[in-house]
Structure 1
Amino acid sequence: MVASQQQPGLHTNLSDTQLLKLNQMLVFVSQNNEFYREKLNNISFPIHSTKDLQELPFTTKAELVEDQKNFAPHGKNHTFTKSEYVRYHQTSGTTGRPLKVMDTKESWSWWEDCWLEVFRSSGVTKEDTVYLAFSFGPFIGFWGAFEAAKKLGALVITGGSQTSKERLNSLIDNDATVLLGTPSYALHLGEVAKQNNIDLRETGVKKIITAGEPGGSVPSIRNQIETIWGATLFDHVGMTEMGAYGYSCSEHNGLHINESEFIAEVVNPDTLKSVEIGERGELVLTNLGRYGYPLIRYRTGDIVIHSSESCPCGNTYKLLPKGIIGRKDDMVVIRGINIYPSSIEAIVREFSAITEYRIIYYTKGGMDQIKLQIETNVDISSIVATHLRDRVGLRIDVEVVETNILPRFDMKARRVLDKRDAF
């Protein structure tokens, strides 16, 4: 079904391997994929270096959504006929119309292999029992992890539609050694465990792999989760439309890009030019093995630091220090200060007495304002406010609310309430 995807063979140099895979992908999709045949119709292939990739047009989520709107239901970026696809997923739709993505048998196997790299970097083996605290709906979540754990040979236990208490009982009763979930849900399970007099440090869970939110690479969040569980936390990052492209390592100093399957660029989101080493920019990715749903120079919207530093763990793949700093779409400007919700969470999670929080944007006197609501049984609102002012550079009102009044989340948390349009 797919044009021959040759193994790199003697091409042991990473750039050579990437160039080989990239040209195979480009030649194939320019001939067989309607979406990219139109976008790449003026480009001659093969290209001669990975740097030449910068001459190709970007791909945006807005384009993909518009394509599916105009050519419903699945758009023209699905290379093959529907009968060739075996998996269906869709984005959460938190920032607009959900994007529908299907995978062929080959592309889904590629997903699994990308997740195997996550497991290897986390030290997960076939001797482990992997518990997935995930509802298994159409959101991609940990579906790839589920399949990869099976391929690895580990025992896999799914949480499905269980309650949080039932999930805790299941992972304890079945001696789970690895927990997969969002950072928010790992913390919430800690809250539920405390309410039920369960000491998570006495369970068999020794490793936690998080995804769906940037918290796993934020030291304060990672430390809080590790303290609650008595386990080591590893982070992972991926996207429904892109694939499982990054993971943390034993050094816990950021995220490695799986460069054997993805090419990464970091650009200024305004000028779209490459940023200098050490600067922040938007992560742009090209997947190299997903022929059923290719993406070339995809603007992820994730803000990262462009770095050339090597990692002491020995992994030579590109390292993103601090992981995903925030989402380009999530940034707001309050009284001249750029605010990322993830930056506020990093401070909030330094206080273990805070069980949940919410950020509220609102307008007062014609000016945009921000306040923080927290659930806590300790009088720390003024201390938190001081930390926020010193670190963020902005005075943020901190309001203590009743216990259990704020929402909890199994999957991606939505802790930002924007009320600015209400005034």
Structure 2
Amino acid sequence: MPQSNHPRLETASRSLIEARQLARLQLGLTRILPRNSFYERKLLANGQSLSLTRLRDLSLLPFTTKQELLADQERHPLYGENMTYALSEYVRYHQTSGTTGRPLRVLDTAESWKWWADCWKTVYQAAGVTRDDVIFIAFGFGPFIGFWAAYEGAKNLGALVVPGGGMDSLQRLRMMQDVQATVLVCTPSYALRLAEVARQEGFDLQKLKVRITIHAGEPGASIPATRRRIEEAWGAKAYDHAGMSEMGAYGFTCERQHGLHVNEGEFIAEILDPRSGQPVPVGEVGELVLTNLGRWGNPALRYRTGDLVRNGGYSCPCGRAFLLLPGGILGRIDDMLIVRGVNIYPSAIADVLHRFPEVAEYRIIVTSNGPLDEIALQVECPPSLVGEIQETLRASFGLRIPVEAVAEGSLPRFELKAKRVEDRRRRML
């Protein structure tokens, strides 16, 4: 299927962008029926067809959820019925991380795997990475899709790519020095962990040639304090990226670093109120719903990501007309904590704590006081800093949040997705 990566589509008019999206969508939908049993049954059950004449008609189609896809795979093991082609046409197997439950299996054809790589090439180019760079990917390569596509995208770009699997943190730092890496790709938590190991081992990060870091897997590189900490530690510019195993690599940061742009040449994005399903206005927060336009062997139509984002409209100082998500992924719907009537996202707590250079790591402990949620923090920091942290939290959220200083190195470190929220509410029932 031809790609829509028009060289200037990102700066084109909205009418042209949407016309190209509709054309891609129409062409792709003709490939799904009658080959894809999952969507054939799903759409017919809702009285819908795949004949869309306007982009806004997409809102007539039902949502797709991860729970549906998991249930489909349970009913029809191993891969479910969301397969447009015979199994022999698929060349890549991956699965979700399983951090929120049973992993979802995902398959890609050679065509859709190339599409993944093209999407990651966009991520690199927006960050200023070129074929002259040496890209080090600090990731333990396994069935989780993670940075596999980042590896393919680097090859597509023509840059030298170095996989950093099967190494501990110090070995990775030394490898980066040996190969003279100029770009680091990892989660934001692991970038901070590498910097911590460098301090502990007397390894001078400033002697490395890293000029760009690119991060994915969790919110962080769009959180101002977290990005600032990464940039100060590495002496490099830090860029965010967003993607999902079941969706693709859809978000990238431009040179202005105002948040994430959705790659609307390859995805259709909606930002909807999670309860009403209606679009939210510019400036408001809603759930990101995505449709990919290049993965027809394992499609995802109107996929509810569960991620909360702010509608930043279609204007950015960089000149791109692609949808902007200021602050990147703000959090997940099921991660939001309601503490004494105040909505708090873990990413907002990170933004506060990472303002303090003395904070090495932290944990959010959630408990319940009758019908109300309560939170407390364990923070690796000097005890003398607790009062200032508590006051900054109070000023940010209007709440008194207890903070306990714990010994440095006593809390877990993370290579992939960080798990900093410990929910003790069920234990208290």
| TM-score after normalising by structure 2 | 0.95
Number of the residue aligned with 2:359: 354
Which of the numbers 395, 398, 414 marks the counterpart of 1:393?
398
Question: How far, CA to CA, are the matches of 2:121 and 2:385 in structure 1?
Answer: 43
Which of the numbers 393, 414, 417 marks the counterpart of 2:419?
414
Number of the residue aligned with 2:323: 318
Number of the residue aligned with 2:172: 167
Say whether residues 1:21 and 2:24 are aligned partners: yes
Number of the residue aligned with 1:145: 150
Pair 1:421–1:354, CA change in 2 (3 A): same
Q: Is the 8 A contact 2:212 2:236 kept in 1?
A: yes
Number of the residue aligned with 2:301: 296
Deviation at 1:285, TM superposition (A): 0.3
Q: Is the 8 A contact 1:30 1:40 kept in 2?
A: no
Pair 1:422–1:83, CA change in 2 (3 A): same
Question: How far, CA to CA, are the matches of 1:239 and 1:7 in structure 2?
Answer: 20
Say whether residues 1:375 and 2:345 are aligned partners: no
Q: Deviations over 1:126-184 (max 9, x none)?
A: 10000000001111111001011112111111111100000000001110000000000
Deviation at 1:7, TM superposition (A): 5.5
Q: Is the 8 A contact 1:91 1:140 kept in 2?
A: yes
Deviation at 1:96, TM superposition (A): 1.4
Number of the residue aligned with 1:234: 239
Identity %: 51
1:36 partner letter: Y
Gaps of 5+ in 1: none
Question: How far, CA to CA, are the matches of 2:117 and 2:398 in structure 1?
Answer: 43
Number of the residue aligned with 1:307: 312
Which of the numbers 57, 60, 64 marks the counterpart of 1:55?
60
Q: Is the 8 A contact 2:5 2:265 kept in 1?
A: no
Which of the numbers 292, 312, 316 marks the counterpart of 1:287?
292
Question: How far, CA to CA, are the matches of 1:318 and 1:9 in structure 2?
Answer: 17
Deviation at 1:378, TM superposition (A): 5.9
Say whether residues 1:105 and 2:110 are aligned partners: yes
Which of the numbers 79, 83, 91 marks the counterpart of 1:86?
91
Please show how residues 77-226 of structure 1 align to structure 2 within 5 Å. 77-226=82-231
Q: Is the 8 A contact 1:172 1:203 kept in 2?
A: yes
Deviation at 1:368, TM superposition (A): 2.8
Deviation at 1:27, TM superposition (A): 2.2
Q: Which runs of 4+ in 1 moved over 4 A?
A: 4-12, 364-367
Q: How many residues align?
A: 420
Q: Is the 8 A contact 1:262 1:285 kept in 2?
A: yes
Question: How far, CA to CA, are the matches of 1:296 and 1:23 in structure 2?
Answer: 12
Deviation at 1:392, TM superposition (A): 1.5
Number of the residue aligned with 1:252: 257
1:205 partner letter: V
Question: How far, CA to CA, are the matches of 1:407 and 1:159 in structure 2?
Answer: 21
Deviation at 1:250, TM superposition (A): 0.5
2:204 partner letter: D
Q: Is the 8 A contact 2:139 2:186 kept in 1?
A: yes
Deviation at 1:73, TM superposition (A): 1.0
| TM-score after normalising by structure 1 | 0.96
Pair 1:9–1:360, CA change in 2 (3 A): closer
Which of the numbers 268, 271, 276 marks the counterpart of 1:271?
276
More off after superposition, 331-340 vs 169-178: 331-340
Gaps of 5+ in 2: none
More off after superposition, 177-186 vs 29-38: 29-38
Question: How far, CA to CA, are the matches of 1:321 and 1:166 in structure 2?
Answer: 36
2:173 partner letter: L
Q: Is the 8 A contact 1:8 1:17 kept in 2?
A: no
2:23 partner letter: L
Q: Deviations over 1:321-363 (max 9, x none)?
A: 1111111111121222212111111111111100000000113
Q: Is the 8 A contact 1:304 1:324 kept in 2?
A: yes
Q: Is the 8 A contact 1:8 1:20 kept in 2?
A: no
- SS across alignment from 1:74: coil
Q: Is the 8 A contact 1:264 1:285 kept in 2?
A: yes
Question: How far, CA to CA, are the matches of 1:112 and 1:378 in structure 2?
Answer: 47
Number of the residue aligned with 1:32: 35
Number of the residue aligned with 1:384: 389
- SS across alignment from 1:31: coil
Deviation at 1:379, TM superposition (A): 1.7
Pair 1:187–1:8, CA change in 2 (3 A): closer
1:198 partner letter: F
Question: How far, CA to CA, are the matches of 1:22 and 1:138 in structure 2?
Answer: 29
Backbone CA RMSD of aligned residues:
1.6
Question: How far, CA to CA, are the matches of 1:6 and 1:146 in structure 2?
Answer: 20
Question: How far, CA to CA, are the matches of 1:68 and 1:130 in structure 2?
Answer: 36
Deviation at 1:249, TM superposition (A): 0.7
Question: How far, CA to CA, are the matches of 1:176 and 1:379 in structure 2?
Answer: 39
Question: How far, CA to CA, are the matches of 1:30 and 1:127 in structure 2?
Answer: 43
